[in-house]
Structure 1
Amino acid sequence: MFKRLIIATCLVAALPAIATAQCRIAVAGTACVAIPQPLTPKPGPVEIGQTLERGQYSMLMNARYYGLPTVSDGWVYMRIEDEIYRVDWLSHKVLERVTHMASRNW
């Protein structure tokens, strides 16, 4: 038993470092593929500080379902295309882009 443990330890130490590198699943005979990411983020459909036209976009009603903090202090979440923005309710001014804060079910 002890002899098998020593042999297994020696085999693990002898593996190349690349096998345990950046792959999530390192299986013998496979290679990792890196998906290139754009250097500049894609611009959103609206800009921060822009005033939205009333009735143009829909309000996101169930923020907790999407993992977002609850609405407070006079602002709401608005869905604009496939993005979520925090918008002042009275002036309809865009305050912040919060899509990155939403959970996976968005």
Structure 2
Amino acid sequence: MISRLITLLALSATIPTLASAQCRINVPGVACMTVPVATPPNATERSCRIGVPGTACKAVARTPRPAPVDVGEFLERGEYSMMMNARYYGLPDVRDGWVYMQIEDDIYRVDYRSHEVLERVTDQANRNW
């Protein structure tokens, strides 16, 4: 009985009130108040990246950030995450003794035995990355 009452109270808190529903459908005679919503700082930039129609976008020159590791460098074991589902990210399957490792925001092809960095492959990944 008490659990049903708690569930009913929780559901009633999530159901919009009649007044707020009337404001959304613009019923005459109802006094509504508009509350401005703060726009996140990068909302326009994100809208430009994902191609939202009607968004005024401008080209922003970005300075390339330095790579966290260089090709040919040897990685410390257990320091970075190995990526297990390369196909999900649009990368070729792992083969010939190398694996993909995530280092900061980049993906690298790394020799599994020696942990030598073979190639930076972040630009080959799809939008899931």
Structure 1 length-normalised TM? 0.66
1:94 aligns with 2:113: no
CA RMSD of aligned residues (A): 2.1
Deviations 1:12-52 (A, max 9, x none): xxxxxxxxxxxx8998xx9x5422223x5221111111100
State the aligned residue count. Answer: 79
- Within 2, Cα distance between the matches of 1:93 and 1:87? 6
3-state secondary structure, aligned to 2:86: coil
Partners of 1:58 and 1:82 in 2: CA distance: 11
1:34 paired residue number: 58
Which residue of 57, 76, 82 maps to 2:80? 57
Q: Does 1:104 align with 2:93?
A: no
Residue-by-residue CA offset, 1:66-99 (whole Å, 9 max, x unaligned): 1000001110000011110000011100011001
Higher relative contact order (CA 8 A, sep 6+): 1
CA distance in structure 1 between the aligned counterparts of 2:52 and 2:88, rounded to whole angstroms = 31
Identity score, percent: 63
**Structure with the larger helix share:** 2
Structure 1 unaligned blocks of 5 or more = 1-23
Residue 71 (structure 2) aligned to one of 48, 59, 66: 48
